[in-house]
Structure 1
Amino acid sequence: MTVPRSTLRLQLHRGFTFDNALAHVDYFAALGVSHLYLSPITTAMPGSLHGYDTIDYAHVNPELGGEPALLRLSEAAHARQMGLIVDIVPNHMGIAEGHNAWWLDILEWGRHATYARFFDVDWHSPDPALRGKVHAPCLGGPYGEELAAGRITLSFDATQGRFSARYADHRFPICPVDYPQLLRSVPAAEHPELTALAERFDGLTVQPEHRQRAQAALDALRAFASDHGTQPFEAVLAAHAPNAPASRERLHRLLERQFFRLAWWRTAADEVNWRRFFDIGTLAAVRTERMEVFDAIHALPLRLFAQGVIDGLRIDHVDGLVDPREYCQRLREKLAEREAERPPQLDRSRAYVVVEKILARGEALPAEWGIDGTTGYDFMNDVGALLHDPQGEAALTAAWAELSGSGETFADAGYAARRKILAENLSSELDRAARGLHRIAREQAATRDYTFTAIRRVLTELAVYFPVYRMYPQSGMRTAADEANFRQALAGARCSLARGDHAVLAFVDASLGGGPERGAPVGAPPSRERRTAATLFAQVTAPLAAKAIEDTAFYRYGRLLSRNEVGANPGEFALGVDAFHEANLERARRFPYAMVATATHDHKRGEDVRARLAVLSEIADEWIAKLRAWSTLNAPLRRPSSSPSPAGLSLACTPLPGPAPDWAPGPAAEAMLYQTLVGAWPYDLDFTDADAIHAFAERIATWQLKASREAKLETSWHAPDEAYEAASRAFLFDILAPQRRDGFLQELAGFVARIERAGAINSLLQTLLRLTSPGVPDLYQGTELWDFSLVDPDNRRPVDFDKLSAWLVDTPPSEQLHNWRDGRIKLGVVHRALTLRAVSPALFLEGSYIPLAVLGARARHAIAFARQHGDAYAIVIGTRLAASLMPASSDVPLVDPAAWEDTSIELPAALAGRALFDCMSPAAPKADETGRLFLRDVLTALPVALLVEEGVPRA
């Protein structure tokens, strides 16, 4: 198998193409990564900046340079002994603006379309107006208003010979069955040629056997338009123009006959009858579980793998699929079938496959999936929690409760967010799952009186309390792991439901794979209806978890934002060293080739933002005092959001229960804003530079708008409160205005200076841990230097690879300590660790993981472990929780060696008497006669060390 030593994630789009990546391939090779890890490469929506809105699975995106440019990049990478991993999107496609041929096909022909079974559409909606139709919630206002305003029109495309309904950039093809009536809407005496064309369409039906005849008629129509132009068709369009009552009614009747139903976008949550990606109305789920769909989606990556162009796949949003287990196993089988076709120099190598999967604490990725692991959110959670001091939890929890006016835990915030999302965003998905169970209930006399409403009520509570993303039943029955999670959901639902609903809860429990089917023979497999019901429930809980937790509760609960990260649970404040070791040992045992990451294209805050904010857990009382002081200082700058504000209210006051104060941004949002300013403040930002501060404020304002809308409290994406948003933005720009240079700005810069060195130590520690822990380290583009990015689009800004290349040197990182703020010290740590992985790949990919005991006065401030393969060792040592150890007189991120006192680590016995050298500095520490290595001798030049023996690059 081609196991990557390390990967570097690149975000491709028309501004950064394959050829742009090719221009920097020498830098990537010199840095030491073994594989480039590319965002989706299939054809996406024009102008897409991420590639997750695929419109054509069969072709490499021409905006990226197409397949020729991909081949150039692949050849250049392979020439430097590097490979390519690509991100694929098997769950959904982009459907906006008429670019997706598959989607246009079902809009045109309905459930008889060639691609009707490719999308997860409920053609049997309980709403008679939607039966056999696709709900199209794209209108900016109610249908009748938009029609009367003339914004819905009929158009004719001469190049395609087709009529379509148009709304803004959206196109909806008219079914050719209606062409005779369309063409005859003009008197034959005026345009007899249209009557002749209409005759070609007479008698057409939507049945597939008429499709060839329909195409011939369309070809004739296109040929006529090519010869005579569009003038003859203008009369048809005029007959359906929306600017007059009679023609508008004619247009309305035409639209009502189509296989789509145009609707106001606000109706989507309640009425959409096709599965979306989360609640995004421009991304439609595809039925990858069907073999013909699977083959169509994967033909390109399978061919590229067989040709040796790519070496592995990253599977996006695997939890959206009907059966992730079956999907992963099928994909592995298909890849294995193509191994023999690989070029001889690749030696029939097996593909590297990882999945994007959020794992809760204690949740295990099923080994039987046949994949190499996840994309690393679990490690990002572990290492992030490791940086936090548990001693600060109580004070920060109390402070957050005081300023937010609520003592709710993060779990409470999550439950409330789940209820809101189910009611307002995923109502139609919940309805569909409830209907599936209602049909099952109607089949038995004992359950026939369980109403749809009662079943929906029960499902709501189960989904609210479901502790992980989803369950993975086998043949319709819950696994042991599923059962443990479902029991937890049942307990929550039982407490929240009225006693009268408990019988329905028991029925739902059994029907979702928890018991034998009533009336079925012993040992009989569950019916198709029960298997479908379990799938529908899983496809509710997965998007619910993402939307309610990551995209809602994370923006409401702000005890310490460094824990509000994808894959993390903010309710888990800190992780001890022993627990971190245990997680690494578990990964080494079960998925030694899983990715380990600390930054991604989806992160909420850059890895160095989180590392700096973690320092606040060490100085909780000082931070709380600072928070209150800033609140008082900036209180006069607050704006009323819609009505006069209570005078003088500040975060130092204890808010009374009830409605939030009517000023923007409000106490909780203001507290999170201060954390964001502290965390994202770049090392080189001068608070006296008005232009630089303004540019910084614009970045923060973009985050602030997204954060407030995601929180869905004062404003939201669906119902923006422009007054609140404007007032919040004005507050931000006021507190960062040049006239605050000697006030808040100076205070802010001074506090960042107070914690920045400890934050840098955290950053270097998490960087080294990622590069040396079990798994395949993933490097997100540009994070070789300090990463103070925020949520997208901020974390997808252009990267200056030329600067990175110029700054890549072979000297030890310790030589960059004096100018550590420019980030070269971090680049050096990355480079040295990746170089060691290249020199000794088996040591890190196959080697064992050995936690090392830290002893002495400062033991809680360090972490150490060994990697061993055969007779080779690497010793990893890092500083943690450094704020209390930092000398005020120093300007570098380094604990005074004397401060370590007697703190030491116990080396493996096999290293007794063997000379060790630090890859990161000139240090060559020696253990004493008992095998103890004192940190005062190791951490003299950097806060981290990577000790090895001879034969590897060192100072």
Structure 2
Amino acid sequence: MTPSATYRLQLQPEFPFPAAEAAVPYLASLGVSHLHLSPVLEAVPGSRHGYDVVDHGRVRAELGGEEGLRRLARTAREHGLGLVLDIVPNHMAADPRHNHALREVLREGPGSPYARWFDIDWAAGGGRVLLPVLAGRLTEERQRMRVDGEVLRYGEQEFPLRAGTAHLALPELLDAQHYRLGWWRLARTELNYRRFFTVSELIGVRVEDPEVFEATHAKILELVRDGVVDGLRIDHPDGLADPAGYLERLSEAGGGVWTVVEKILTGDEPLPANWAVAGTTGYDALHRIDGLFTDSEGAAALLGGYRNHASPAGDRGGYWTGTVRRAAYRVVTHELAAETGLLARLAARICDTDPALRDHAPWALHTAVRELLVRVPVYRPYATAGGPCTLTAEAALDAVAVSDAKAAFAVREEAAAVDVVRELALGRLGGGEDRAAFCARFAQTASALRAKAVEDTAYYRYVPLAAANEVGGDPGRPAVEPDEFHAFCARLARDWPATGTVLTTHDTKRSADVRAGIAVLAQCPGAWAELVAELTRTAPAAPDPQLAWQAWQTALGCVGMPAGERAARLEPALLKAVRESGLFTSWTEPDPVYERAVTDFVAAGPAAVTGPARALLERFAATLAPHVRAQVLGAALVHLTMPGVPDLYQGTEREYLALVDPDNRRPFAAPCDGAPLDDKAALTTTVLRLRRERPEVFGESGTYAPLAASGPAAGHCLAFCRSGEVVTAVTRLSLRLAESGGWRDTALRLPDDGVWSDLLTPGRKFSGGAVAAGELFAERPVALLVRGVRADGEG
């Protein structure tokens, strides 16, 4: 069954299955149809997210075990709810203490039956797998190691010993293992196993192998067959060797259960039509909804102010595309150097087997790999060795990318290596296992590069409007016009009517309500520039102006956060921002002096409870509050009524102010019985209950039709009709609207037949035909109209 709406709960030891079970009556009362649970399989003890799976065959004991999950499912069923599970096919925790499969590989080496589970380049490691776990060089860390029976202990970590080696002296014992313990810094260049992005603690899993797929999915599929689980969310499919093949196998094994994938689409990139899924998890919808409430002219003015004030270090003028390209070069030559080196070795090996290709130098192939990777404009090209290439794959490595990549070569003849690498990446050159390996690993590395360069670097380096810096977004073009939004919704209704849609997730850098508080600045860039100048004169000096710009925007978005929590929540988020950007400090090369300056500035300025700067910020926020409210309600209503299955993140049915993880992964707490509903909560429950009651309107057979407004402020009204029965109408850019004189003679034309009742303001009714916008939005900036009885009395 396709859900009508899902509600995401972040399970963790502080919020296990019994806590979720206790929340079921409240969640059922909201009107959702399914609970969306974060990963439930056995994970590293204490994990607050569950993506570090260690055993696919067991439900996590810390959450309550399998019986706890089944009991939760039964309670949910009693209240009319189903369960959707988040599953992690791409990776496991690289912790041999808890990961039995990896432990056996380390003990037995490439001959282990579990060796096929992981992408390990044994040849590159001289027959051993590098484990970059040591705090310093091996010679410095040996004194911290000791043999305990058949285990080697290092601090709290332990590693299995190869049979018959426990009696050896430590130097000989270390050399005799199927693994090599190394300094953590070696991971950048020497790592020889596939990992999740650049996280060496998470090792990639080869689910393309049928036996591995069966072993890692047996428990999940059992839960599906038993009716415990009704739907699946697939984490990071772009990390897989063959996403389409994996999803087809999963669909067949799961009986076609409703499935969505965490696929990040760039721009107008389509979801591959051959994927056996209902759609994405909804970041594409998030970008369109946010963009709908962002003023394009004001965003351009903000960019000008950002360039003047922040003078972004190393950004050469503050252009988004340049920021992304520079970030990609840094990541591919630093954090992903090991992955790039593997691709270069595979390319050289393939070329060595073909006399026509043998004279391409290894350095030239390495350069070609690097130059093509940084020019892939999407998360990955979808190509399969020996199979047909998708249009996305061809476009990702088009003639322009090839020509630009060749410009990195001083000698034209040597630049021909780019053509070779392109054909290898598209799976059209070479043969055997190496061809398939190169094609898959190029795509996997491209997705890791895109994620790290864009999401984890560029988004923190380029912040003229921080609200636009969200997964799947386009900070270089943050605004989405109504016609674009309508076209997007029409495509969803036609091609992916059961796709997921979201506004806030466990991975968003700022919750939707925080983003709304920042996005309004695009409607008043001049006032923001004046405020920043005044804050700069009033507050303690920031260590750099780029940090100050984003810190004050963050503080504005979080102005409603409890005063006692501001410092404890803003400081970690902004410290993470400066580390991710890598401009003055980083995770691997921290500058403690700069970081202390950051925390001191945040505590005394943006996170301060009192003082002149706080007073300035709160007065400014108060003037914008009605317009932030208009965006919060408008975005919520559009999200809940547009095509697709809306997913609500825990707590977001009400005002929800949260920053990047771990701030947004705090344990869920349902509101107390009888707690009053704010505007957002009242809207949310009204729409969710309507969706549940009228599946024919919002479900897969439902239709979507834009409605046009006319008059001087027509561009400030966004409206559409679902299945001829329900009309959504919202106010866009309300501050600009007020400054231009209000609605005046603007009108929205409703479908002609019947009387339309506004469910958000009981008692208000409108006849079909033209309705004055000023009347429609007299009570609130949004309206949800349901067709009632026609004027002739017939229903």
Tell me, in whole angstroms, the C-alpha distance in 2 between the residues paired with 1:737 and 1:383. Answer: 29
Which shows bigger deviation, 76-85 or 4-13? 76-85
Tell me, in whole angstroms, the C-alpha distance in 1 between the residues paired with 2:235 and 2:654. Answer: 27
Conservation of the 8 A alpha-carbon contact between 2:318 and 2:462: no
Task: Report the equivalent of 2:598.
Answer: 728
What's the TM-score, normalizing by structure 2? Answer: 0.96
Measure how far apart 1:860 and its partner are. Answer: 1.4
1:48-97 Cα shifts (integer Å, max 9, x gaps): 00000000000100101001111111111111221000011011001236
Measure how far apart 1:633 and its partner are. Answer: 2.4
Which shows bigger deviation, 831-840 or 794-803? 794-803
Tell me, in whole angstroms, the C-alpha distance in 1 between the residues paired with 2:683 and 2:408. Answer: 52
Tell me, in whole angstroms, the C-alpha distance in 2 between the residues paired with 1:528 and 1:257. Answer: 29
Q: 1:884 is matched with which residue: 736, 740, 753?
A: 736
Instruction: Name the count of aligned residue pairs.
Output: 781
- Residues 348-427 of structure 1 correspond to what in structure 2 (within 5 A)? 350-405=256-311, 406-427=316-337
Task: Report the equivalent of 1:77.
Answer: 76
Q: 1:886 to 1:807 in 2, by over 3 A?
A: farther
- Residues 245-324 of structure 1 correspond to what in structure 2 (within 5 A)? 250-324=169-243
Q: 1:498 is matched with which residue: 398, 410, 433?
A: 410
Q: Secondary structure at the match of 1:23?
A: helix
Q: 1:584 is matched with which residue: 485, 489, 495?
A: 489
Return the letter of the residue paired with 2:787. Answer: E
Task: Report the equivalent of 1:30.
Answer: 29
Conservation of the 8 A alpha-carbon contact between 1:135 and 1:260: yes
Q: 1:673 is matched with which residue: 542, 551, 555?
A: 551
Higher relative contact order (CA 8 A, sep 6+): 2
Q: 1:839 is matched with which residue: 693, 699, 705?
A: 693
Task: Report the equivalent of 2:145.
Answer: 152
Tell me, in whole angstroms, the C-alpha distance in 1 between the residues paired with 2:576 and 2:680. Answer: 30
Q: Secondary structure at the match of 2:153?
A: strand
Name structure 2 gaps, 5 residues minimum: 790-795
Task: Report the equivalent of 1:435.
Answer: 345
Measure how far apart 1:494 and its partner are. Answer: 3.3
The answer on 1:800 being equivalent to 2:640 is no
Task: Report the equivalent of 1:934.
Answer: 772
Measure how far apart 1:312 and its partner are. Answer: 1.0
Which shows bigger deviation, 270-279 or 169-178? 169-178
Conservation of the 8 A alpha-carbon contact between 2:351 and 2:360: yes
Conservation of the 8 A alpha-carbon contact between 1:97 and 1:169: no
Tell me, in whole angstroms, the C-alpha distance in 2 between the residues paired with 1:529 and 1:757. Answer: 60
Conservation of the 8 A alpha-carbon contact between 1:923 and 1:940: no
1:805-854 Cα shifts (integer Å, max 9, x gaps): 53377xxxxxxxxxxxxxx1101110000011111111001211000111
Q: Secondary structure at the match of 2:725?
A: strand
Return the letter of the residue paired with 1:706. Answer: K
Conservation of the 8 A alpha-carbon contact between 1:31 and 1:808: no
Task: Report the equivalent of 1:174.
Answer: 161
Return the letter of the residue paired with 1:789. Answer: A
1:684-714 Cα shifts (integer Å, max 9, x gaps): x5xxxxxx2x531221111111111111111
Conservation of the 8 A alpha-carbon contact between 2:10 and 2:668: no
Tell me, in whole angstroms, the C-alpha distance in 1 between the residues paired with 2:156 and 2:474. Answer: 40
Tell me, in whole angstroms, the C-alpha distance in 2 between the residues paired with 1:121 and 1:34. Answer: 42
1:432-464 Cα shifts (integer Å, max 9, x gaps): 111111111112223212122111111111111
Conservation of the 8 A alpha-carbon contact between 1:618 and 1:881: yes
Measure how far apart 1:539 and its partner are. Answer: 1.2
Q: 1:736 to 1:573 in 2, by over 3 A?
A: closer
Task: Report the equivalent of 2:792.
Answer: none
- Residues 49-60 of structure 1 correspond to what in structure 2 (within 5 A)? 49-60=48-59
Tell me, in whole angstroms, the C-alpha distance in 1 between the residues paired with 2:640 and 2:775. Answer: 23
Conservation of the 8 A alpha-carbon contact between 1:85 and 1:310: yes
Conservation of the 8 A alpha-carbon contact between 2:232 and 2:258: yes
Measure how far apart 1:799 and its partner are. Answer: 2.8
Measure how far apart 1:495 and its partner are. Answer: 3.9
Measure how far apart 1:530 and its partner are. Answer: 2.1
Conservation of the 8 A alpha-carbon contact between 2:551 and 2:606: no
Conservation of the 8 A alpha-carbon contact between 1:374 and 1:595: yes
Tell me, in whole angstroms, the C-alpha distance in 2 between the residues paired with 1:313 and 1:146. Answer: 44
Measure how far apart 1:736 and its partner are. Answer: 5.5
Q: Secondary structure at the match of 1:907?
A: strand
Return the letter of the residue paired with 2:72. Answer: L
Q: Secondary structure at the match of 1:294?
A: helix
Task: Report the equivalent of 2:704.
Answer: 849
Tell me, in whole angstroms, the C-alpha distance in 2 between the residues paired with 1:787 and 1:425. Answer: 34
Name structure 1 gaps, 5 residues minimum: 157-162, 183-249, 337-349, 519-525, 639-663, 686-691, 810-823, 888-894
Measure how far apart 1:398 and its partner are. Answer: 1.5
Q: Secondary structure at the match of 1:85?
A: strand
Task: Report the equivalent of 1:921.
Answer: 761
Measure how far apart 1:742 and its partner are. Answer: 4.6
1:289-331 Cα shifts (integer Å, max 9, x gaps): 0011000111011101111111111110000000000000011
Which shows bigger deviation, 355-364 or 407-416? 407-416
The answer on 1:907 being equivalent to 2:747 is no
Measure how far apart 1:607 and its partner are. Answer: 0.4
Q: Secondary structure at the match of 2:674?
A: helix
Task: Report the equivalent of 2:87.
Answer: 88
Task: Report the equivalent of 1:711.
Answer: 581
Task: Report the equivalent of 1:342.
Answer: none
Conservation of the 8 A alpha-carbon contact between 2:132 and 2:183: yes
Q: 1:701 to 1:335 in 2, by over 3 A?
A: same
Q: 1:307 to 1:396 in 2, by over 3 A?
A: same
Q: Secondary structure at the match of 1:926?
A: strand
Tell me, in whole angstroms, the C-alpha distance in 2 between the residues paired with 1:578 and 1:499. Answer: 47
| Higher-Rg member (1/2) | 1
Task: Report the equivalent of 1:478.
Answer: 389
Q: Secondary structure at the match of 2:279?
A: coil
Tell me, in whole angstroms, the C-alpha distance in 2 between the residues paired with 1:26 and 1:138. Answer: 45
Q: Aligned-pair RMSD on alpha carbons?
A: 1.8
Conservation of the 8 A alpha-carbon contact between 1:37 and 1:85: yes
Conservation of the 8 A alpha-carbon contact between 1:861 and 1:881: yes
Q: 1:737 to 1:506 in 2, by over 3 A?
A: closer
Q: Secondary structure at the match of 1:58?
A: strand
Return the letter of the residue paired with 1:439. Answer: R
Measure how far apart 1:737 and its partner are. Answer: 8.0
Tell me, in whole angstroms, the C-alpha distance in 1 between the residues paired with 2:29 and 2:130. Answer: 52
Q: Secondary structure at the match of 1:261?
A: strand
Q: 2:683 is matched with which residue: 829, 836, 853?
A: 829
Tell me, in whole angstroms, the C-alpha distance in 1 between the residues paired with 2:115 and 2:766. Answer: 70
Conservation of the 8 A alpha-carbon contact between 1:915 and 1:949: yes
Task: Report the equivalent of 1:201.
Answer: none
The answer on 1:770 being equivalent to 2:625 is no
Which shows bigger deviation, 497-506 or 283-292? 497-506
Tell me, in whole angstroms, the C-alpha distance in 2 between the residues paired with 1:499 and 1:174. Answer: 51
Tell me, in whole angstroms, the C-alpha distance in 2 between the residues paired with 1:471 and 1:509. Answer: 11
Q: 1:800 to 1:442 in 2, by over 3 A?
A: same
Return the letter of the residue paired with 1:327. Answer: Y
Tell me, in whole angstroms, the C-alpha distance in 1 between the residues paired with 2:95 and 2:531. Answer: 48
